[in-house]
């Protein structure tokens, strides 16, 4: 079975400061990992994905994440927060060997950005 | 707009009524997924189709729920005899399986409120 734990349900940062959203996964195989963002009244949007290539993954809007197998972590970072980054972020795992490739979501982290 | 669309965006119903939601995936995508997201939680997998075949169903999908994808294009999700616990956001996603990476594109969701 696979699972995802997002260690913080809420993160608050000031505009222009770094962002760190933490994610740990549990999996018995080499998973595919994703970060999705959900803005109010909008659909989930893919930020970035890890698929067993480079361990440091760059995504849209300046976000990046590093896959650390030894720590079973896939934390999301951004050097400088912008007001428009305020949203709900989901860490997601998928088993590439499962025919359906269903996604298993973490509980989400709400990012608040203060001016 | 060539993204995933869902209709309606909002549905308010009384307990015991039947409701049906529609999802139109990205046209060339052969896979279609349904997820349910309750308030403050991450989405949870319900079921998925490859073309017109429904290949897997979650234990969350009780016998009051039925999903179809009759021609391998749009899909419908019906809930019979709705209960207050069915109140949630119902998300549809589609993908085209390439290699082992399964990037799913999400629609805006249908928010169901059962009174």
pLDDT tens digit sequence for A17-67: 999 999 999 987 788 899 999 998 788 999 999 987 788 999 999 999 999
| Confidence (pLDDT) at B103 | 84
> What number is the average pLDDT over the span B73-95?
96
Residue B98 CA: distances (Å) to CA of A29, A34, A36, A51, A68:
19, 16, 20, 12, 25
Q: Which of B25, B26, B43 to mutate to test the interface with A (most CBs of A within 10 A)?
A: B43
Residues 60-89 of chain A with CB under 8 A from chain B are: none
Tell if the CB–CB gap between A90 and B42 is shorter than 8 Å: yes
Residue A37 CA: distances (Å) to CA of B30, B69, B93:
24, 27, 14
Give the number of other Cβ atoms within 10 Å of residue A94's Cβ.
Answer: 24
> Peptide bond before A80: cis, by omega within 30 degrees of 0?
no
Check pLDDT > 70 for residue B1: no
Please list the residues that pair with A95 across neighbouring strands: none
| Confidence (pLDDT) at A1 | 75
Residues 26-45 of chain A with CB under 8 A from chain B are: 32, 34, 36, 41-45
Chain A: give the shortest CA distance to residue B18, in Å.
Answer: 24
> Phi, psi (5° rounding) for residue A35?
-120, 130
Q: Which residues of B touch A51 (CB under 8 A)?
A: 100-101
**Cα–Cα distance between A63 and B15 in angstroms, integer?**
43
Q: Considering CB atoms only, which of A49, A97, A106 is closest to B42?
A: A106
pLDDT in tens, B10-52: 999 999 999 999 999 999 899 999 999 999 899 999 999 999 9
Of B105, B83, B102, B113, the closest CA to residue B23 belongs to B105
> Residue A16: pLDDT band by 50, 70, 90 thresholds?
very high
Of A89, A96, A91, the closest CA to residue A5 belongs to A91
Which residue in B has a C-alpha nearest to residue A50's C-alpha?
Answer: B101
> Phi, psi (5° rounding) for residue B86?
-80, -10
Q: Considering CB atoms only, which of B41, B42, B56 is closest to A100?
A: B56
**DSSP output for A22-87:** -EEEE-SS--EEEEEEE-TTS-EEEEEEE-SS-SEEE-GGG-EEEEETTTTEEEEEESS--GGG-E
Which residue in A has a C-alpha nearest to residue B91's C-alpha?
Answer: A43
Tell if the CB–CB gap between B107 and A101 is shorter than 8 Å: no
Radius of gyration of chain A (CA): 14
């Amino acid at each position: 079975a696979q699972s995802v734990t997002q260690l913080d349900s809420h993160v608050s940062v000031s505009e222009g400061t770094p962002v760190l959203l933490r994610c740990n996964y549990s999996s018995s195989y080499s998973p595919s990992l994703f970060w999705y963002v959900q803005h109010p009244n909008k659909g989930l949007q893919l930020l970035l994905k890890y698929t067993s290539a480079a361990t440091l993954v760059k995504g849209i809007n300046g976000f990046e994440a590093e896959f650390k197998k030894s720590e079973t972590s896939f934390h999301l970072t951004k050097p400088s927060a912008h007001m428009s980054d305020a949203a709900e972020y989901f860490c997601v795992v998928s088993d590439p060997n499962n025919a359906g490739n269903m996604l298993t979501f973490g509980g989400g982290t709400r990012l608040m950005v203060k001016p | 707009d060539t993204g995933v669309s869902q209709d309606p965006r909002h549905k308010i119903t009384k307990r015991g009524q039947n409701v049906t939601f529609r999802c139109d995936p990205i046209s060339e995508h052969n896979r279609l997924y349904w997820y349910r997201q309750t308030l403050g939680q991450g989405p949870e997998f319900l079921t998925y189709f490859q073309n017109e075949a429904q290949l897997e169903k979650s234990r969350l999908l009780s016998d009051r729920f039925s999903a179809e994808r009759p021609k391998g294009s749009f899909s419908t999700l019906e809930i019979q005899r709705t209960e207050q616990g069915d109140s949630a956001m119902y998300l549809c996603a589609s993908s085209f399986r390439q290699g082992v990476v399964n990037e799913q594109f999400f629609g805006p969701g249908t928010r169901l409120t059962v009174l």
